[in-house]
Structure 1
């Protein structure tokens, strides 16, 4: 059975490879976060146009608070 502990991984890779892997991992997480925000905005826009029939709301947040 292969050893998958942190010390075994560090001994198999040099510092540059380890830092590159960490960098790629961080970039992947950031790309997934951007994709999630974009999808959430797209789904929200589609849902809003379906439920409200392309009506634009002219009332702002302040009007909603003081009804």
Structure 2
């Protein structure tokens, strides 16, 4: 029985791979994750936006707490 999680491999394929059973699933398409440099740039931009938002939140919370103590 073959499906998306199981598949048959011939003994010749196993021999050709040096008996390495780490054989790629033929039912799964290759994913293109994009250009690593572009992905890293996007990641760094997102991280800087998170840091900026966190700082604004800290300032807002500090202002609220300061106003509460008055």
TM-score class, shorter-chain normalisation, is 0.5 to 0.7
Which has the larger Rg? Answer: 2
Structure with bigger helix share is 1
- What corresponds to 1:15 in structure 2? 36
Higher relative contact order (CA 8 A, sep 6+): 2
- Structure 2: runs of 5+ lacking an equivalent: 1-30
- Runs of at least 5 residues in structure 1 that lack an aligned partner in the other structure: 1-6, 50-67
TM-score normalised according to structure 2 size: 0.51
Counterpart of 2:49 in structure 1 is 28
In the TM superposition, residue 16 of structure 1 has moved relative to its aligned partner by: 1.4
* Separation of aligned partners in 2, 1:45 and 1:18: 40
Q: TM-score, normalised by structure 1?
A: 0.53
How many residues were matched structurally? Answer: 40
Runs of 4+, deviation exceeding 4 Å: none
Q: What is the aligned-residue RMSD (CA, Å)?
A: 1.3
